[in-house]
Amino acid sequence: MKHLSFLLLSALSFLAQAQPVKSATSEELIERLAVPFANTRSLTARNLEPQPRSLDLVIQFEFDSAKLKSESKPLLDNLSTALKSDRLKSIQFKVEGHTDAKGTEAYNQNLSLKRANAVVDYMTQQGIEADRLKAEGKGFAELLVPEKPLAMENRRVRISTTQ
């Protein structure tokens, strides 16, 4: 029964993460990014490999630019606070920039990398150590909604644990 409950909770967690996050408290971000089982010593959790966690965020930029819009800064501030928490402070993260499919592959690859770097720069200004964050541009290689390549949901920043 415990295993069934765990599987059900895992499935619900996956579904909740499918939509990019527009706003969240630092506590909510900690829960979504903290690696489960990291501090568990029980016999049943001992053999489980913690899986990397990722979260898609709606981060707005000026048109055709890597300049962050002010309405995205509260979410990034909460993310910075979360990354400073005891549960996340020893974890490294990858910051991925994603675009929709409008424009050329090369152009979107470059823009997505610039946007990922802009997020990393902002977070380091908020006190996150630069060596904990790695920026990566994905362009439109990993569309969140492939059946709608121009959908707004494809334009996002994903943050993932790397250890």
Domain edges within the chain: 2-161
pLDDT at 18 over 70: no
- Here the tokens at position 155 are 């334009």
Residue 15, pLDDT score = 41
In this structure, the strands spanning 54-57 and 93-98 are unpaired
Helices (H), the chain: 2-17, 26-33, 43-46, 73-83, 105-125
The mean pLDDT value for 104-118 works out to: 97
CB 66 within 8 A of CB 111: yes
Q: How confident is the model at residue 12 (pLDDT cuts 50, 70, 90)?
A: very low
49-63, 68-82, 123-137: range with lowest mean pLDDT? 49-63
pLDDT at 91 over 50: yes
Q: Which residue has the higher pLDDT, 27 or 3?
A: 27
Percent of the chain surpassing pLDDT 70: 80
The mean pLDDT value for 12-38 works out to: 76
Residue 42, pLDDT score = 53
**pTM (two decimals):** 0.81
103-112, 113-122, 151-160: range with lowest mean pLDDT? 151-160
Instruction: Look up the CATH superfamily of 2-161.
Output: OmpA-like domain (3.30.1330.60)
- Mean pLDDT, the chain, rounded, equals 86
Q: Which residue has the higher pLDDT, 109 or 40?
A: 109
Question: Rounded to an integer, what distance in angstroms lies between the CA atom of residue 78 and that of residue 19?
Answer: 18
